[in-house]
A and B are shown apart, each in its own frame.
Chain A
Amino acid sequence: MDKRLIYVDNAATTKISKPVLDAMMPYLTDGFGNASSIYSIGMNSARAILKARETVAKALGAKTSEIYFTSGGSEADNWAIKCAADAGAGRGKKHIVTTVFEHHAVLHTCEYLEKHGFEVTYVPVDEMGLVHPEDIEKAIRDDTCLVTVMFANNEIGTIQPIPEIGEICRRKKVLFHTDAVQAVGNVEIDVAAMNIDLLSLSGHKIHAPKGVGAMYMRTGVNLPNLIHGGAQERSKRAGTENVAGIVALAKAIEEAVKDIPAKQAKLSKMRDRLINELTKIPESRLNGDPKKRLCGNVNISFRGIEGESLLLSLDLEGICASSGSACTSGSLDPSHVLLAIGLPHSTAHGSLRITLSEDNTDEDIDAICEAVPRVVEKLRAMSPLWERILRDEDIDAE
């Protein structure tokens, strides 16, 4: 049996690319200077950060002064939401609009704010996993201080109508934040044209290391700090800069946005082949819109089996994927995203998420198309739930 590793969980994290590793290595070795120091190796670090900031800004259509480096996507989300809320509260605005299927970095931050006197409207999504801009518009009130909607969903890959939502927010004079962690490098982003005020991104989803990210904050927004301390990041985000990480992030984003249409063409071809083949399995369904989705995202549910068993079985075949089952989330409920698009619990438990990168090959797709039907059949053969499905029983009746 072919035992080479087939890594198709790129929405979870990615492998550091060779150009990224080469770019960051000098700052992990001799170029270790603190960017706040006055001697040459310190100044060298400061120069590297400045250059990195220019690169990240260019990739997003932003100004250099609008980019702030963070420890990752979650910090950027926390910063944008908590501090926009803080600023809003000062003007008597204590209402936030978001959606039901955001990443937990957004949802749990909103839930935290609810415990501290804020009101949050969780706008639903349709069964394809898309937010309707008119629903966002209806949810905005006079006391709304922030709208936060993810650019692309991390589980089902659906790409949201961000320019339309941006236009609404600008017209209504409400701050607009988007968690673009999954979108960067997969979708063309222009923060100015899309009327985005705040945007979060993460390095390790685009072949940079874990522990670095960035926030775009439009000129004039001027949120309060989340992390107080030294004067780093123009006094907006304290803490000695992760120079190697920042340089890596810049290199990664430069590579990621170099030719997005080519990447989309390559990955969507592999994606669609997987979707075609795997939905031939009886009692399977594609989750999320077939077209308005990230070029590398496949999310399919198989009735009668449980996701963690599916992942462990695929791991035995050398395939690394992900699921929205409760067992893999560390909670007792299956994915809030799959429940939000209307899947019954039993079906949500049996989901498989495959997320591709440019490192994947047609041979990887062949191997997955061969392994998944076999593994699903094996698990169904030992599933008492599958017996009931075959008898046409209503398994979701409680």
Chain B
Amino acid sequence: MIYSEKVMDHFANPRNVGEIPDADGVGEVGNAKCGDIMKMYIKVNDGIITDVKFKTFGCGAAVATSSMATELIKGKPIEEAMKLTNKAVIEALDGLPTVKLHCSVLAEQAMKAALADYYTRQGIDPKMILGDLSTPESCEI
């Protein structure tokens, strides 16, 4: 298995690691049994994601995709962040090994879970905006 240089860079120097104590939205996906959990925190100001942090339990690709996902949405309008797909994360990392593609899905889901939490806190049903966010039960994605 081969990781791209970008994946290794984001693994070795992950961007935006940590927590936001007064976050406006927090999302967590994955489970211990499958070996990856991602937790994302966002801060929203005037419709802009002004800050984003993450914590990840998982493999190198899990860390790198979380890191890249935070980079891609930081400073962006919330509407733009909503459109972030796992494919964009993969492209930004110069590709991922096939067995690691699910990590990029998890990164997208973590980010959307944080947005859903943000909308819920605003009194808006996130399903109206983000659709159904249910995550698969099995480890396979």
Contacts and interface: CB of A to CB of B under 8 A. Distances in A.
B17 A345 contact: no
A93 interface: no
Contact of B99 (A330, A345, A386, A398): A330
A345 B60 contact: no
A384 B11 contact: no
Interface size class of B (residues with CB under 8 A): 20 to 34
A387 B56 CA distance: 11
B2 interface: no
A346 B33 contact: yes
Contacts of B56: 382-384
Interface in B5-54: 8, 11-12, 14, 17-18, 28, 31-39
B60 A312 contact: yes
Contacts of B1: 330
Nearest to B58: A306
A384 B59 contact: no
Given A332-B139, A383-B57, A384-B57, A306 B28 contact: no
A395 interface: yes
Nearest to A323: B59
B60 A309 contact: yes
A276 B28 CA distance: 36
Nearest to B18: A382
A326 interface: yes
B91 to A, nearest CB: 22
A189 interface: no
Given A305-B57, A309-B58, A383-B55, A346 B17 contact: no
A387 to B, nearest CB: 7
A73 interface: no
A327 B11 contact: no
Max chain A CB contacts within 10 Å: which of B28, B35, B63, B100? B35
B35 A396 contact: no
B38 A384 contact: yes
A339 to B, nearest CB: 11
A205 interface: no
Interface string B97-113: 00110000000000000
A387 B55 contact: yes
Given A306-B58, A308-B59, A384 B37 contact: yes
A332 B30 CA distance: 13
Max chain B CB contacts within 10 Å: which of A309, A386, A398? A309
A334 B35 CA distance: 8
B140 interface: yes
Contacts of B63: 309, 382
B93 to A, nearest CB: 14
A245 interface: no
B62 interface: yes
A398 B34 CA distance: 11
A398 B33 contact: yes
Contact of A327 (B14, B35, B39): B35
A306 to B, nearest CB: 5
A74 B38 CA distance: 38
Interface string A363-397: 00000000000000000001111110000000110
Nearest to A398: B33
B32 A396 contact: yes
A214 B31 CA distance: 43
A304 interface: yes
B55 A306 contact: no
Contacts of A325: 35, 59
A109 to B, nearest CB: 23
Contacts of A309: 11, 58-60, 62-63
Interface in A324-356: 325-327, 330, 332-334, 345-346, 349
User: 6 nearest interchain CB pairs?
Assistant: A346-B32, A327-B59, A308-B59, A385-B57, A384-B39, A383-B57
Interface of B: 1, 8, 11-12, 14, 17-18, 28, 31-39, 55-63, 99-100, 139-140
Given A309-B58, A395-B32, 11 more contacts: A308-B60, A309-B59, A325-B35, A326-B34, A326-B139, A327-B100, A330-B99, A332-B139, A345-B32, A349-B32, A386-B57
